[in-house]
Amino acid sequence: MADLTKEETSWRGQHSKQPYADKKVSYEQYPPAYRTGSEGFHKYPGKKYEQIEDDLALDYERNQPGAALP
């Protein structure tokens, strides 16, 4: 598994450059979503996003109840 400390540093540095980054929502709301994507990369190796999108959504909801991002 990747080093989450390094990944979170990268996420923070790159976040504002992403087209989905809402300027009204602070970065601090996004790490659970980034973490779900990172873990999904390892959990569903070789799968295209379209194949696992629903599974990732369920993983996010299961692991982050009440998270700020829908």
Count of domains in the chain? 1
Distance CA 40, CA 50 (A): 12
In a domain, 62, yes or no: yes
Q: Which pLDDT does position 50 carry in this prediction?
A: 96
Q: What domain range is 67 assigned to?
A: 29-70
In a domain, 19, yes or no: no
pLDDT 10s digits, 19-62 = 988 888 888 888 888 889 889 999 999 999 999 999 999 998 88
In a domain, 17, yes or no: no
Residue 1, pLDDT above cutoff 70: no
Q: Which pLDDT does position 62 carry in this prediction?
A: 86
In a domain, 13, yes or no: no
**What integer is the mean pLDDT of 1-16?**
83
In a domain, 60, yes or no: yes
Q: Which pLDDT does position 68 carry in this prediction?
A: 63
In a domain, 20, yes or no: no
In a domain, 8, yes or no: no
What would you report as the CA-atom Rg of the chain, rounded to the nearest whole angstrom?
Answer: 12
